[in-house]
Structure 1
Amino acid sequence: MAGLTIKDIARICNVSISTVSRAINNDHGINSQTRERVLQVAKQFGYVPNNSARNLKMAESNTIALMSKGMNNPFFQGMYPYFQQELEKYNYEFLLHSMPEEIDEGYEAEEIAKEKRLKGMIFLGGRLDYPEAVLGNIQVPFVLCSVASAVSVNMTNMNVSSVSIDDEKEAYKVVKYLIRMGHRRIAIIAGKKHDHTVAFLRESGYRRAINESGIEMDPELIRYLDDSIPEYTEANGYATMKKLLESGTDFTAVFVISDRMATGAYKAIYDSGRKIPRDISVVGFDGIELSRYLYPSLTTVVQPVQKMVKSSVELLRAQILGDTTKKHLIYDAELSEADSVRNLL
């Protein structure tokens, strides 16, 4: 019989297709007589396994995509090796897929899952507050890691697992720390004005801390990024800080919502003839390695990267193995005090 398939063998042997597949792959979990019968029929009719199809199936079962919003973000770059390390523990292949900031990650994921025949995916950065119908179109298990909406009420009520910090709470703690150090005129270099991701949450934490402390909110101290410059970059941190300094607005401390932008802010401060922390105290966010090598070293919020990565992979693996329970893990970050903040008390 030319072109014999496992479906044909299953019909001849009066067994299921899965039984034929297990017999051909030498699975000893089936009845030995059944296995011998299947192998005999396969040999009799010259059955040749479709190795290309088998290899494709193996690729489907092993590939996990990391859907990254912000390929050049040093914080995300620091996470990639940990993801690869954790995935390799379970013999998963690691595919890094970078997405531009303006792209719709929900629909992008739907297409990539089909194109790459993925086993699962982890979203890193960006947001996912689309209707459940959109999420339902992603036909593989997935987990959100460091996605802004993961801590929102709407997201925690949705049928999706997530791992994150509470960006609003951690930003609140930063500003309360500056207030305890005697600062009252505290500026913030936030994200873009109409941002609804982590930038919005961190700005919200800033506003709550100021309001709760009875300090008058000064709109001049809230500075948004330049739309013409890539966000979360040193260049935008420099340009935004430069405008704040040139405005003549009085302040003693600034909360920069990412360490990378804080690097640019440092240069703008020094270019203006001022010193850190003598004239202006600076606090960043993320805890990237670069912050330790700035001068003076940057006080910043350190995210528990390894814990977040490990939990994301474990949640995804549980889904792949059939666990339908959805979990929302929120870790505490740590304020790492260095040399960039002056105590005014």
Structure 2
Amino acid sequence: MPITIADVAARAKVSKTTVSRVLNGKGELDESTAARVRKVIEELGYVPSSRAVGLARGRTRVVGMLVPSLTWPWIGEVLQGAVDVLETERYGLLLFTCNRGEESMRQFGAQVSAKSFDGLLVIEPEGTLDYIAMLHARGLPVVLIDDRDTQPVQIPSVGTTNHTGAGAAARHLLAVGRHKPLVIAGPERFGCTVQRLDGFASVYAEAGHPISPERILPGDFTIARGFQAVQAAIGSDVEFDAIFAHNDLSATGAMQAVLDSGRRIPQDVAVVGFDDIPMAAHTQPPLTTVHQPLREMGEAAARTLLAHFEGSPLPNRPTVIPATFTVRGSTGPSPHNDHS
């Protein structure tokens, strides 16, 4: 049987409250009594429940994290960034997904009510933002890790530069002579889709090559939809010499469709993705992409929460970590420069 606080109290001939006060360093205690209690704790090998000690101190030293699903290809990088910071500071992580919809959220809500964690990191599962905002308004410290540019102002967030990153992709394609791009968009309801589309299209429009609506193909961030979108474009005889996909998975599907049609990458079609997930460096050819600072976003969000636990106010404006651009083999000079 595990040793309990009652066993320690009985052996030391003190109350459970006195044992608890020794464990938590609280209250004025006779030093000889405290020494006797500590000796008994050592003799019995009593290990206090971290949860019990946390509740006594009003802190659990656990951070909750709510994410849509662990199958999203970039979630692991964000998670690793957060965990690196939390483990260094001796915090635990309680991870929740929304894989089972309302049932998942009910379980999550029960843990919130039980005060199982001190604060919450959120990659927003769809349709939960009002609930998260309510928890924050009621006093739960929350930091959003946001790739959608739609967060309410009152919730602190860490994000990246979707608009600027997409603009960098456009400038790169223009620099290698690509004037007829296809765009494989993300889901319309996501703020990041709007930002990436606007950032890319505005650079092409300024350069005198506005992107017509038939060049913007609907997508859903999957390999399959990227493949289908490009197949459909090829079937409809839309001329194109480049593809900008709103994430790396769509870009991977697009590359397969291009190669299946007998065209070459990058000679005939240059392809650019967005995210720079680990897979991007290993496609054939390796994918040029906008690098989202995913791990850094996780780290920054965790640091923001831990600083708040130490007394710093939560920031009232988004923390923005700039995206960068990674050039690999899937982009190169346009066909009229290629004499091979």
Within-5 A mapping of 1:80-159: 80-100=79-99, 112-114=111-113, 117-124=116-123, 130=130, 134-136=134-136, 139-149=139-149, 155=152, 157-158=153-154
Matched, 1:318 2:331: no
Change (3 A) 1:169 1:125: farther
Tell me how far apart the structure 2 counterparts of residues 237 and 101 of structure 1 sit (CA, whole Å). Answer: 26
Q: CA deviation at 1:322?
A: 3.0
Match of 2:23 among 25, 39, 48: 25
Within-5 A mapping of 1:1-345: 23-25=21-23, 27=25, 30-33=27-30, 54=52, 57=55, 61-100=60-99, 112-114=111-113, 117-124=116-123, 130=130, 134-136=134-136, 139-149=139-149, 155=152, 157-158=153-154, 160-192=155-187, 194-225=188-219, 231-326=220-315, 327-344=317-334
Q: CA deviation at 1:130?
A: 4.1
CA contact (8 A) 1:71 1:99 kept: no
Change (3 A) 1:197 1:73: same
Change (3 A) 1:21 1:146: farther
Tell me how far apart the structure 2 counterparts of residues 209 and 276 of structure 1 sit (CA, whole Å). Answer: 23
CA contact (8 A) 1:176 1:209 kept: yes
The Cα offsets for residues 172-196 of structure 1, whole Å up to 9 and x where unpaired, read as: 221122112211111110012x323
Report sequence identity in percent: 23
Tell me how far apart the structure 1 counterparts of residues 283 and 125 of structure 2 sit (CA, whole Å). Answer: 27
Q: CA deviation at 1:85?
A: 2.2
Change (3 A) 1:32 1:126: closer
* Alignment-derived partner of residue 43 in structure 1: none
CA contact (8 A) 1:107 1:134 kept: no
Q: CA deviation at 1:30?
A: 4.5
Change (3 A) 1:268 1:280: same
Greater relative contact order (CA < 8 Å, ≥ 6 in sequence)? 2
Tell me how far apart the structure 2 counterparts of residues 102 and 254 of structure 1 sit (CA, whole Å). Answer: 34
The aligned length equals 312
Change (3 A) 1:148 1:102: farther
Q: Report which stretch shifted further, 199-208 or 257-266.
A: 199-208
Q: CA deviation at 1:283?
A: 0.2
Tell me how far apart the structure 1 counterparts of residues 222 and 82 of structure 2 sit (CA, whole Å). Answer: 24
Change (3 A) 1:81 1:135: same
- Taking structure 2 as the reference length, the TM-score comes to 0.77
CA contact (8 A) 2:66 2:95 kept: yes
Q: CA deviation at 1:116?
A: 6.5
* Alignment-derived partner of residue 10 in structure 2: none
| Amino acid corresponding to residue 268 of structure 2 in structure 1 | D
Change (3 A) 1:137 1:332: closer
| Amino acid corresponding to residue 246 of structure 1 in structure 2 | G
The Cα offsets for residues 190-230 of structure 1, whole Å up to 9 and x where unpaired, read as: 012x32332222122122222222223311100002xxxxx
Change (3 A) 1:197 1:111: farther
Q: CA deviation at 1:321?
A: 2.5
Tell me how far apart the structure 2 counterparts of residues 96 and 131 of structure 1 sit (CA, whole Å). Answer: 17
Tell me how far apart the structure 2 counterparts of residues 101 and 331 of structure 1 sit (CA, whole Å). Answer: 32
CA contact (8 A) 1:256 1:262 kept: yes
Give the secondary-structure state (helix, strand or coil) at the position aligned to 1:285. Answer: strand
